[in-house]
Amino acid sequence: MKILLFILPLILVGCGHTPDKIVVDKLVYVNVECEDFGHITGIKPLPVVFVRGVDTEGYQVLGLRGDMYSNLSINSAETLRYIREQTKAIGYYEKCIEDHNSTQNEEGGP
């Protein structure tokens, strides 16, 4: 019974709230022309193979040989490069759209 008395006001308060509707008269689609940012080279990961080992106390561990550690490092650097280039491309297109919108607002366009 106590639970019902606690939940009932929450339900009644939640049902009474309806958000205001925004009415849009008409939508106008305008093409935004941006120059191509260019091709971003993908990632071609090098193989990384973990090897099993036993430490001095007899516990089994996973490890990397020196060349595999280098491959892991190169893969990480390539991934970071790819993310940076993607971030630059996104920023470029965002700025292009902002410039287009500000030009349209100054000209009184759609």
Q: Per DSSP, what are the bridge partners of residue 51? A: 63
Helix, strand, coil percentages, rounded to 5, for the chain: 50, 5, 40
The first and second tokens of residue 4, run together, are 């019902």
Which of 4-8, 11-15, 78-82 is modeled with the greatest confidence? 78-82
The structure tokens 């020196």 sit at 66
- Read off the pLDDT of residues 61-93 as tens digits, 9 standing for 90 and up: 999 988 999 999 999 999 999 999 999 999 999
Q: Are 32 and 96 in contact (CB under 8 A)?
A: yes
What predicted TM-score, i.e. pTM, was given to this entire model?
Answer: 0.61
Token digits of residue 57: 């106390």
